[in-house]
Amino acid sequence: MSTVPFRVAVGQWSPVLGRLEPNLRALVTAVDQAERGGADLLVTPEVALSVSDPRLDELRDLSHRLPLVAGFVERGKDGQNYNAAGYWADGELVHLHRKIYLPTYGLFDEGRFFARGDLVRTFSTPFGVLALLVCEDVWHPSSGLLAALQGATGLLVVSAAPGRGIAHGTSTLASSTTWHDLLRLYGSLLGCWVAYSNRVGFEDGIHFNGGSLVTSPVRSEPLVEGDPFAAGVWIAGIDPGAVSRVRSRSGVLREEDLEGTRLQLGRLLEGHLPGRMRKL
C-alpha cells in the first residue's frame, strides 16, 4: 500500500458526440490545469473519446505528463462496442475496464449500443492498488466489494450522470446529493478513497450535472467538489494512511464471509432466484 501523500484531480466538461477533436482539446486543457495545480493523477468523464481513433496517440503522449483516466468507446477484438475506461501512464494503457451494468431504465438504453463487460479487476500504481468503475457499476454493491476484496485502496469512477430533481428545502440537485451520499458510503464502508468524474453541460435537452468529487474514508464531506454547471478541474490531496487507519478499525472486509456468500449465490443461481432475475 502506498504511504506517500499525493494529489488527485477530477476534470469535467461537455463532450461533443462523435467528434474527437473538440473532446481531445478539452482533455488537453484538463491535463494543463491538473499539471498547473500540482496533481499527480487526473480522472475524466465517461464516453468522452473513442480509443480506436489513431489520433489518440496524443492521449498516450499526455500520460507522460501525468497518469490519467479517460472514458471511451472501445471496439473489442470480438467486433463489439464497449463503454470502457482506461488508465494510462508513461505512454501505455495500463488497465482497461469495460462497463458491466448497462442501464435500460428511464432515459437510458445503453444495452442497444454496447456489449457488457464481465470483470472487476484491480491494478497496481504508485498511488496504491486501484480499480476503475463506470457510472452504473457503482449502483451495484458487488462492484465496490469485489474491488476492495482484491486490495483496492482507491476507486476511480467515470460517469455521465444526468441532473434530476431538487433536494427538498435546498437549491441542490437531488441526483447530485444521491451520488455523493453513495460515494461517501463506499469510502467509509470499504475504507477507500474515491475520485469521481462526471460529465457536465447539456445534450438533447438533458442536463449532465457535473459535481465531480474526491472523497476520503475518514471525512463525511467531499475533500473537493466540482461545479454542477461549469467545466473545470478540482484537486484534492489524499493521505494513504487514512485507508490503513480506517481498515484497521473496521472488520467489514476482514470478516467478510466469502465462502458463505459463494454457497448462497450458488443456491440462488441453481434456481432459487425469482424468474425475472434468472433471465439477467
Residue spans in the chain of domains classed CATH 3.60.110.10 = 6-240
Rounded-to-integer distance, Cα 209 and Cα 250, Å:
33
Which DSSP category does 135 fall into?
G
Amino acid at 31: V
Among the ranges given (47-56, 58-67, 74-83), the one the predictor scored with the smallest mean pLDDT? 47-56
Residue-level pLDDT at 272: 67
- Residue pair 171/165 in contact (Cβ under 8 Å)? The answer is no
C-alpha cell of 38?
Answer: 500540482
Residue 172 pLDDT > 80: no
Give me the pLDDT at residue 178, please.
86
Predicted pLDDT of residue 18: 75
Please give the model's pTM, rounded to 2 decimal places. 0.92
The predicted-structure confidence for 210-269, as pLDDT tens digits, reads as follows 999 999 998 777 899 999 889 999 999 999 998 888 888 888 888 999 999 999 888 888
Has residue 171 got a pLDDT over 60? no
What class does CATH assign to 6-240? alpha beta
pLDDT in tens, 175-221: 778 898 999 999 999 999 999 999 998 877 787 889 999 999 987 77
Residues 25-42, mean pLDDT to the nearest whole number: 97
pLDDT at 29: 96
Q: How far apart are the first and last CA of the chain?
A: 36
Q: What is the pLDDT of residue 142?
A: 94
Does 280 have pLDDT greater than 50?
no
What would the mean pLDDT of 29-47 be, rounded to a whole number? 97
Q: What is the DSSP string of 86-144?
A: EEEETTEEEEEEE------STT--GGGT-BPP----EEEETTEEEEEEEGGGGGSHHHH
| Predicted confidence (pLDDT) per residue in 105-154, tens digit | 777 788 889 999 999 999 999 999 999 999 999 999 999 999 999 999 99
Angle of the 174-190 helix axis to the 141-149 helix axis, nearest 10: 30
pLDDT of the residue at 115: 95
